[in-house]
């Protein structure tokens, strides 16, 4: 059997593993190293794309920046990079304990807080997060935007500063001159309000003649809505 000729490219601590079965050799070099020598005059190792996660204990496929999809997400969230638990086993244990885990609010909750899928298993999102998602879709904003706005307002109504929302969540106030009716384009959100300030406060106040709009706190809110700061942050990050 004829011996296979290998590429002659090598360095101090590396040598090319390609041979003539990978493609025709030119002047004793594989095509990649031949092009390197022709253009730069020097030879470098050929970069081989990573196939698995860079963490020694993880064998999942590479996704981005050296990590698998889960560890990449954990790195962006600033979490400690630990071995991944077997999700099905963990989920089964939780269900046996009468619990499930919501991947939206990252919280363990009793099973009655989760819709049941056609497979007879609890949904990955709890009922509260699913309701919130449906509401946010009407306003064309994300859960991240909503949570950022809630954090900016310190969990209080943007006008009266009441400390807690009702069970159904905050009322999402938007500029009705931009988008009349329920829902918005996602670019005219102003803030999160309690039901009193939203239905009986700002809605009534904006219908008053300008000369009668004398409430300082509401005027401050209308002049510089909290959501403007979130929109500004998103523009800077973009």
pLDDT category of residue 4 using cuts at 50, 70 and 90: confident
pTM: 0.56
123: nearest Cα among 135, 137, 109: 109
pLDDT at 109: 93
pLDDT at 238: 43
pLDDT at 42: 83
pLDDT digits (tens, 9 = 90+) for 178-193: 998 888 998 999 999 9
pLDDT category of residue 174 using cuts at 50, 70 and 90: very high
Please give the CATH number for the structural domain made up of 137-237.
Answer: 3.40.1800.10
pLDDT category of residue 234 using cuts at 50, 70 and 90: low
219: nearest Cα among 146, 158, 154: 158
Place of tokens 């900016």: 152
The residue ranges of every structural domain in the chain are 1-48, 51-84, 86-125, 137-237
pLDDT digits (tens, 9 = 90+) for 122-164: 998 999 889 888 989 999 998 889 989 999 999 899 999 988 6
């Amino acid at each position: 059997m004829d011996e296979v000729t290998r590429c002659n490219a090598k360095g101090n601590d590396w040598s090319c593993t390609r041979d003539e079965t990978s493609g025709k050799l030119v002047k004793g070099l594989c095509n990649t190293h031949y092009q390197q020598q022709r253009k730069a005059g020097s030879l470098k190792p050929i970069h081989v794309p990573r196939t698995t996660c860079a963490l020694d204990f993880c064998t999942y496929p590479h996704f981005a920046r050296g990590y698998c999809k889960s560890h990449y997400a954990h790195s962006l969230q600033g979490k400690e990079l630990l071995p991944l638990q077997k999700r099905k086993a963990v989920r089964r244990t939780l269900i046996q304990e009468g619990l499930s885990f919501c991947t939206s609010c990252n919280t363990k909750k009793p099973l009655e807080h989760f819709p049941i899928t056609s497979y007879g298993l609890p949904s990955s999102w709890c009922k509260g997060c699913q309701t919130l998602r449906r509401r946010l879709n009407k306003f064309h904003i994300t859960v991240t935007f909503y949570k950022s706005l809630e954090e900016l307002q310190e969990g209080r109504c943007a006008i009266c500063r009441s400390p807690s929302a009702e069970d159904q969540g905050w009322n999402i106030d938007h500029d009705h001159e931009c988008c009349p009716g329920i829902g918005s384009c996602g670019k005219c959100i102003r803030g999160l309000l309690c039901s009193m300030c939203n239905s009986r406060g700002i809605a009534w106040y904006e219908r008053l003649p300008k000369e009668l709009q004398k409430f300082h706190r509401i005027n401050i809110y209308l002049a510089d809505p909290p959501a403007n700061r979130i929109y500004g942050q998103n523009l800077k990050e973009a």
